[in-house]
Structure 1
Amino acid sequence: MKNRFAAASLLLALSTANYAQDVSSSSRENAKVKNVVNVSETKFLPLSDVKAGMRGTARTVFSGSESEEFEVEILGVMPGFIGPKHPAIIGRLSGKNAERTGVFAGMSGSPVFIDGKLVGAISFSFPFSKEPIAGITPIETMIEIFERKNVIKTQTEPRAVSFAQLTALDLQPTLPKQPIASSPFMAAIAPDSPLVKLLGQQFAPIATPLVFSGMNQETLNQFSTQLIANGVLPVSSVGGSAELKSLKKSTDKTLLPGDSVTVALARGDYSLAAAGTVTYRDGDKIYAFGHPFLNLGVTEMPMLESSVVIVIPNANNSFKLSVPGDMVGTLGQDRSTGIYGELGKTPKMIPVKINVKTSNNAAQIYDFEIVKDPFLTPLLLNMTVFNSITATERAIGDSTIVISGKINVKNAPPILLERKISASNAPVFAASSVATPTSLLLSSGFENIELSGIEINVTSTDTKNEATLQSLTIDKTQVKAGETFEMSASIRNDSGKSSVQKIPITLPKETAAGTYLVYIGDGNSLNQVSATRSFVPKNVSDLVNIINQVKKSDRLYAQVSRVSNGAVIGTSEMPNLPPSMLATLNNERTVGGVTPTILSPIYEQVIAPSESVITGQQVLTIEVIR
């Protein structure tokens, strides 16, 4: 049902979008070579001078790489439209191409000129409008928000992490906006809002076409809902991939107003590239879109030249099919009035390699790089791992997938990937097993985390291989410290065949007399009841070490615990604390990651891995005597 809903949303999205641009009539004669206004001579027209009835021109690329001119008539100014103290200009577009396509996805940022002066960027549209009516973000608003000093990421404190998060198999990394009820041409509205009846009677940012290369339809169906909710229009297999090329040196003809510009989220065997239009260039500074891309704030993404194959006219919306070109700089900021980048800068990316061994023993290797971002990196990993599996294996139906590999972290140990999933939708869970630790690491609150590379090995079979721990027996219930007792675990597989596994356990010689709980269970279950299920890491290495301690789902674990009063401080467990110490730690004025515990493990044993993914848990009681 979820995939069918996502597919329906995608089909709706593919009939939606908007955008337009303008350039002064005097610029027509000056732009013989590149058909653009000479930026060095461009002046701004203050918003206070913009009046209804004024006429000007705009520029955008309808085909190829050369921008074309069309007309704009100013209809008025709407105060506070973009936000507090951020008005917008409303204009009607005209001209052969503009009237044919209307405001289209990818037109965002198209510059508008009146008497040779830059007014702003076409950035908003009116859904289902019978005329090409557009909202224009004033240029001074675009520039002002990016010229604020000290634009840096705010330092945050390390966050508490739980084993429940680390072992989650249903992680769906989300972008800043959550899906409510929206589409690429409408702002999100709660389903029970009285505004639902007015859907379509509002301006909204023009959708940004995001061209997927190397992605199958199953992947788009799985993840399109999140993208659509964030004003992104997913477009599959219609644009070229953003190749892994080095930075191209810019010239005075690179990314001029009206040119098509692309922001790459992934480059290589997998390519995700968002297309828009350049509004203004000031030296090496590039201003574009006129509205947020994903509103990520400070970011770092490749900025590329691009060409347009065609603008597809559509009754609901038109959209631009673009092909990414050479990388010429870095997108550095993504805010409410547009995006800002700099030419000549190379962004830091995360190289990823996925090795897939299919159920018929075929091998596939995928090499690409993705952006580093707490929101985007986990989502991109989720999408690419899922796609790598479903490109050759089935997405729905019984299968078993083994994930291995590592996430290399600069100045810290690598995160080791080791997971076996056996389920009817194993590709979803397998992708999440890579995205989850990455998400926790990048959103941990630690500054300057750098991932130097990710390598993932995937082995898939078309059979489900699960087993259940059914019962547990013990050879004796009274044991002396240092003595060995034996557990017998009865395990039943999917075919109904049962087997018994003998588990000898030797207690430590220093074990005190008393009652103890003996737990036998799968790794996931033990993670959920772990004393350190909630912890605050001291540093990145501390967090990585804890992530690497997550217990595996393809084996059983034995744990002997005593009921006692203790606490977990940071990531260190302190059992059997005296009441006075517990009172001090639990004092409301005590600051730090302190978690009270009841069970204090004294012994833990890993039982040899199984062919199957084992689920289930059993607990027995023993008495330790002296």
Structure 2
Amino acid sequence: MFNTKFLAVFFAILTVSASIFGQLPPSDKGPAQPQIFPLAELKEGMRGTATTVFRGTKPEEFNVEILGVIPNWIGPKQDMIVGKLSGGQADRTFVFAGMSGSPVFINGRLVGAISYSFPFAKEPICGITPIEQMISQVVSPTTAKTFSREPRTYSYAELLSNNWRPSLTGNASQSSRASGFAPDSRLMAVAGQTFQPIATPLAISGLSQRTIDMFAADFAAVGIMPVAASGGGSAITPMKKIGPTTLLGGDSVVVHLARGDIEIAAAGTVTMRDGDKIYGFGHPFFSLGSTSLPMSESHVVTVVPNANNSFKLAVPDALVGSMTQDRATGIYGKLGDAPKMIPVKVRLKTSRGQIEETNFESGIDDTLTALIVSAGVGNVLAAQERGLGETTIELTGEIKIKGEDSIRIQRRFAGQQAVALASSAAAIPLAALLRGSFEGLEVSSINLEMNSTDGSKTATVERISLDRNQVRAGETVEVTVASRSDSGRLFVQKVPLTIPKDAAPGAMTIAIGDGGAVQQNSAITQFTPRTAAELIATINRLKRPDRLYAVLTRTTVGTIIGSSEMPNLPPSMLATMNNDRSAGGSKATVQTIVSEMELPAFEFVVSGQQTLSIEVVR
């Protein structure tokens, strides 16, 4: 009787407990860190297995034989393991682009990530980054990105440039990872005789082949291989709920540079998941350090065998987190961590009168963001406008910055290079802004409007003339500006130019020229903004290379200190600044701007410069 009642109560308690625990949410931390195989215990001849995805989403095993260890190959106290692959699909593909990060196990313990290869190798020899080094290199994801305390100096020529190219070669090795060697390298004779980080395949959609070709060399310099350009972009979807099977070791992973109507995603392999922490690649992506780029699951269409460099075609799937670190021994990401993106809208009125709109999001990085925006703008034009022949493009827009004034963009380009030049119009000020590393800077959005017409509407300033050579202070002189188009048509503008009331008697120079030419004549060629607001204000005040300006100058004795012009200095001060006991810090100047004005725009993009002298009399 007692036993029956006891058992009944006992089972009732079990039932209630099961019900309660069954309602508790499952742990979202995922699998714990696998057991590590210490590098010190690794011996030549040991055999293990590695996993990677060859097709679909399921990792497949193949064999790895340890050939030895090269001390300090990756860097100081950063060794590299040398292995040989065999079995399974590895016999067909060898080491391929996108295999970076594939985990290697010996007796169930994690050794490291397949990450290096020999270009043009006849056997599947690989370099393996020890997992201990991958873990030790990671900086805490909560560590805020450090900002430059020292102000940076900018040149006006840089900001007024019509053509911008990214500087992505800082972490490139002696030969290109993607092709095996650089075209101009003296090491071409021994190409393939040194380990290279496995190239990272860049899955691209929404960009035309013409646009990809424009930027392929920049990506190839750092081992990024554009491998696909198919169809349109993908929809921007919310983050997927993280589960215990999200991005495990051996799974295919992609890091997004852009998503939306334009999709740019670099594919690699997960080495290890430790809770919500993801380790991958085994070598740097771009060596960005602390960053924040979207990280997604992916599926592999196929691995394409190639005599130069086999590669995998990977398609991004659901967003699951962000890559927060990009270091010498690999990348680090965090599941569930939503990255910040910059919304970009590009609207084009084509030469046929149609309206085309492209919307995408760009990852935020000091170097890559401007490149992505430039590629996006160039792609809209390349997809809709002529590839050969002359075009005129008018571009307006703004770069919105949280808590600051917007950067205003208003440019016109004409000629056979109009598409390439227009793609840099937003990239140049954006790159300058991000390069400043101003604390708290947040780009909210980028909106651009473009109008394209066939034909080149360009003209050159041919001559200028004055209605008189002498004028009193406060009076207005009429300047006649004659410009000739490429077709030979002559256009004449009448420009009233008022002499300042406080202008001293004497000779002055009137220059009529485009913004670039006028700026080149300026004594101040550089400036050093202390804040983002100063830089934004300077960019918005820049003279446009596609517009004409009238500048009135006179000869004075002065100097420039920093970005400040100090005209009409007394001889005693000049003598003090130019004494024999000091040098540098200042630059003598003999031209001072008395007044300047922007000429009204007309249908042609006018360039060139002409000057005349005028005398101010009492």
Give the TM-score taking structure 1 as reference length.
0.89
Instruction: State how far apart, in whole Å, the 2-side matches of 1:594 and 1:230 are.
Output: 40
Instruction: State how far apart, in whole Å, the 1-side matches of 2:562 and 2:262 are.
Output: 39
- Residue number in structure 2 paired with 1:341: 333
Instruction: State how far apart, in whole Å, the 2-side matches of 1:603 and 1:154 are.
Output: 38
Deviations 1:173-199 (A, max 9, x none): 221438898443466668463x33110
Give the deviation of 1:374 after TM superposition: 1.6
Structure 2 unmatched ranges of 5 or more: 1-29
Q: How does 1:543-562 map to 2 (within 5 A)?
A: 543-562=535-554
Give the deviation of 1:53 after TM superposition: 1.2
Instruction: Provide closer, same or farther for how the CA distance between residues 469 and 279 of structure 1 changes in structure 2, counting only shifts above 3 A.
Output: same
Instruction: Provide closer, same or farther for how the CA distance between residues 264 and 74 of structure 1 changes in structure 2, counting only shifts above 3 A.
Output: same
2:216 maps to 1:224 = yes
Give the deviation of 1:388 after TM superposition: 0.7
Instruction: State how far apart, in whole Å, the 2-side matches of 1:392 and 1:348 are.
Output: 30
- Residue number in structure 1 paired with 2:277: 285
- Residue number in structure 1 paired with 2:464: 472
CA contact (8 A) 2:154 2:528 kept: yes
172-181 vs 438-447, greater mean Cα deviation: 172-181
Instruction: State how far apart, in whole Å, the 1-side matches of 2:549 and 2:535 are.
Output: 22
2:167 maps to 1:174 = yes
Give the deviation of 1:169 after TM superposition: 1.0
Instruction: State how far apart, in whole Å, the 1-side matches of 2:586 and 2:401 are.
Output: 27
CA contact (8 A) 2:202 2:267 kept: yes
- Residue number in structure 1 paired with 2:296: 304
CA contact (8 A) 2:206 2:230 kept: no
Give the deviation of 1:444 after TM superposition: 2.3
Paired residue secondary structure (2:520): helix
Instruction: State how far apart, in whole Å, the 2-side matches of 1:592 and 1:154 are.
Output: 29
Instruction: State how far apart, in whole Å, the 2-side matches of 1:366 and 1:594 are.
Output: 48
Give the deviation of 1:156 after TM superposition: 4.1
Give the deviation of 1:230 after TM superposition: 0.6
2:538 maps to 1:538 = no
- Residue number in structure 1 paired with 2:426: 434
Aligned pair count reads 588
Instruction: State how far apart, in whole Å, the 1-side matches of 2:603 and 2:333 are.
Output: 51
Instruction: State how far apart, in whole Å, the 1-side matches of 2:462 and 2:590 are.
Output: 26
- Residue number in structure 1 paired with 2:488: 496
Instruction: Provide closer, same or farther for how the CA distance between residues 546 and 592 of structure 1 changes in structure 2, counting only shifts above 3 A.
Output: farther
Instruction: Provide closer, same or farther for how the CA distance between residues 64 and 114 of structure 1 changes in structure 2, counting only shifts above 3 A.
Output: same
Give the deviation of 1:481 after TM superposition: 0.9
Deviations 1:178-230 (A, max 9, x none): 8898443466668463x331101121111100011011111111110111111
- Residue number in structure 2 paired with 1:21: none
Deviations 1:214-258 (A, max 9, x none): 111111111101111110110122588453122222122111101
2:305 maps to 1:313 = yes
Paired residue secondary structure (2:425): helix
Structure 1 unmatched ranges of 5 or more: 1-37
311-320 vs 430-439, greater mean Cα deviation: 311-320
Instruction: Provide closer, same or farther for how the CA distance between residues 429 and 128 of structure 1 changes in structure 2, counting only shifts above 3 A.
Output: same
Give the deviation of 1:40 after TM superposition: 2.5
CA contact (8 A) 1:181 1:190 kept: no
Instruction: Provide closer, same or farther for how the CA distance between residues 432 and 240 of structure 1 changes in structure 2, counting only shifts above 3 A.
Output: closer
The match for 2:151 among 140, 158, 171 is 158
- Residue number in structure 1 paired with 2:17: none
- Residue number in structure 2 paired with 1:82: 74
- Residue number in structure 2 paired with 1:9: none
- Residue number in structure 1 paired with 2:362: 370
Deviations 1:16-72 (A, max 9, x none): xxxxxxxxxxxxxxxxxxxxxx95362101111111111111111111111111111
Which amino acid in 2 is paired with 1:577?
L
Paired residue secondary structure (2:399): strand
2:161 maps to 1:184 = no
Instruction: State how far apart, in whole Å, the 2-side matches of 1:440 and 1:511 are.
Output: 37
The match for 1:608 among 586, 600, 606 is 600
Give the deviation of 1:504 after TM superposition: 1.8
2:511 maps to 1:519 = yes
Which amino acid in 2 is paired with 1:173?
P
Instruction: State how far apart, in whole Å, the 2-side matches of 1:174 and 1:438 are.
Output: 14
Instruction: Provide closer, same or farther for how the CA distance between residues 587 and 286 of structure 1 changes in structure 2, counting only shifts above 3 A.
Output: farther
Give the TM-score taking structure 2 as reference length.
0.90
Instruction: State how far apart, in whole Å, the 2-side matches of 1:246 and 1:593 are.
Output: 54
2:101 maps to 1:101 = no
Instruction: Provide closer, same or farther for how the CA distance between residues 539 and 593 of structure 1 changes in structure 2, counting only shifts above 3 A.
Output: farther
485-494 vs 335-344, greater mean Cα deviation: 485-494
Paired residue secondary structure (2:386): coil
2:114 maps to 1:131 = no
Deviations 1:522-564 (A, max 9, x none): 2221122234432112311111111111222443211111112
- Residue number in structure 2 paired with 1:397: 389
Deviations 1:549-581 (A, max 9, x none): 122244321111111234555655443233455
The match for 1:53 among 37, 40, 45 is 45
2:386 maps to 1:414 = no
Paired residue secondary structure (1:541): helix
Which amino acid in 2 is paired with 1:471?
R
Deviations 1:282-306 (A, max 9, x none): 1111100000111111111001111
Q: How does 1:457-468 map to 2 (within 5 A)?
A: 457-468=449-460
Instruction: Provide closer, same or farther for how the CA distance between residues 88 and 266 of structure 1 changes in structure 2, counting only shifts above 3 A.
Output: same
Larger radius of gyration: 2
